[in-house]
Structure 1
Amino acid sequence: MLCNDMRHTSENLALELRKVTTEWGIKDKINLAVSDNAANIVSAIKCGMKQLGCVAHTINLTVKDGLKNDDIQTIINKVKEIYKPVTLKLMLEEAIKSTVAILDKELPILTAVEWKTIKELCKILRPFEDATKTISGE
């Protein structure tokens, strides 16, 4: 494995991949490698074999990109401030409201519209979560 002081450049990663696959006696037996979509690892793998981006990672990147909306980020930040770590599940509404009621701290208040947005986001994101879990389980 790469030493902590070794930079994760595509050249260093490719060198390490060749080294490990040679040591394990599998260098000529690998037809395809699945990895995340980071440019350095994609380039490193393509130096010696075919590369396929991880579908679960691609879904994750797609969802993250889709959530890059100022209104949605404002709501997410409020929820994070109220309830850390945040897990946007429908059951959170009651848990958050109960927690806010017993805490002696000034926390942001989510409006009815923001709660509705959270519920809609959960519905929209559920298929992505299910797909990611299914794919990750394989």
Structure 2
Amino acid sequence: MKPISEDEARALGVEAIHHEMDNGERRFRLVSSDGSSYSRTEASGASGWQNSHYHQGVTELYVVQKGWIAYAELSAGGELTISLLQQGDTVTVRPYTHHNVYMSAFAVTHVVKYGDGTDKGTDKADWVPSPALDLRTKPVTESELLHKFNST
């Protein structure tokens, strides 16, 4: 087996990109030029909502490795559904589905994005904000999530 250097991988359209988000989450990503990617997200000691969004050509598979998350989805008719996902749970998010995730403290998730995630002719990622869903999810507290949406 021959190792592939970062420069060789980049020349083949694959790049490792890592960030610490403003909310303290750490994101470790492996991103392809076709818009597909893998991401490991590690929540900080502070829990909270991410930013609501949807994708036009990408399907996402969320896997909860540690802790729990809340998954919120806004239907085309404007109906909000929120479910709690525990360690080992998964959810698949189809294109044009407005969604948001609440990461509990120290939760770890894996997200696989696949499909056509490129904006034709640009390097722009397939990520479109959903302010309408942010208005509905950001006010929901952890206490409300645990008491209203916990089915266990």
Give the TM-score category using the shorter length.
under 0.3
Q: Give the helix-richer structure, 1 or 2.
A: 1
TM-score calculated relative to the size of structure 1? 0.23
Q: Give the strand-richer structure, 1 or 2.
A: 2
TM-score calculated relative to the size of structure 2? 0.22
- Could you say which structure has the larger radius of gyration? 1
